[in-house]
Amino acid sequence: MHNFMATIQQREKSRDDLLNELNELQGRGPNEALVNARTRLKNHEDAVRQMGDNAAELDRLTQLKDDWTAINAAIGSDGKTLRKIAQCYTLSFLVEHANAEIRKFNSRYELVQVKNSLGLRVIDHDRADDVRDTTSLSGGETFIVSLGLALGLSSLSSRTNSCENLFIDEGFGTLDADTLAVVVDSLAMLQSNQGKKVGVISHTDTLTSDEHITTQIRIVKNGNSGSSHIEFYP
């Protein structure tokens, strides 16, 4: 741009020279040199005018380039950055819905999204609002958080139809007795407070005698025949 403006200044200087030359020739009367001077002056003015138009176009194109450069820096040119931004926004909505579900049956835990990422952390309100990594959660705590996310996803993806029936097969046999009690209490609260029908699929014997599970469908083997039958309790 500096060189461009310098060129315009040089052409303006040449115009002054041409005007001086033209004035001298006019004082001498009509001649061929006067005609040539007028032609050169007109050509000079046309060139200056064209350069002015080009300068305006150059400014417009420079602004357009700067705009696209800013857009490229913000969202990238390959779609990955934009895709991640959209995923982060979607995850933020999911976390909001999941926390609303978690609060309904356990107010101790709250999910929080790691800023500008797809990572999650858990705020433990019973431990002075300690922010915990999800890998530090116990089996029962993981179950509660996962259940909240599942219910939140159901709420997020279904605007007109609610999820009334829920079947859970989370490997209850790996949970200790205390954790299992927390899990079952959470499911019972989910059923009583939200009116959801919760089905639990498990091989854990402890669940068959749990008072919270009032209706059971059992698959019973028929001795060594290799067959089985279904029984309903109670």
101, 152 contact by CB (below 8 A): yes
Please give the sequence-ordered ranges of beta strands (E in DSSP) within 134-184, or none if there are none: 165-168
What span, in angstroms and rounded, lies between the C-alpha atoms of 111 and 120?
7
The domain 78-159: what is its CATH number? 3.40.50.300
pLDDT at res. 130: 93
Same fold, 78-159 and 164-234: yes
Pick the residue with more confidence: 195 or 130?
130
Tokens of 79: 């779609």
User: Across residues 27-51, what is the average pLDDT?
Assistant: 66
Question: Can you give the pLDDT at residue 81?
Answer: 79
φ, ψ for residue 55, nearest 5 deg: -65, -40
Helix (H) or strand (E) holding 157: helix 139-157
| CA angle, 95 then 96 then 102, to 5° | 80
Q: Model pTM? A: 0.56
Return the CATH number of 164-234, one of 3.40.50.300, 3.90.1580.10, 3.40.50.620, 3.90.1150.10. 3.40.50.300
pLDDT level of residue 217 (50, 70, 90 thresholds): confident
Q: What is the pLDDT of residues 169-202, one digit of tens each?
A: 766 766 677 777 777 777 777 777 666 777 888 7
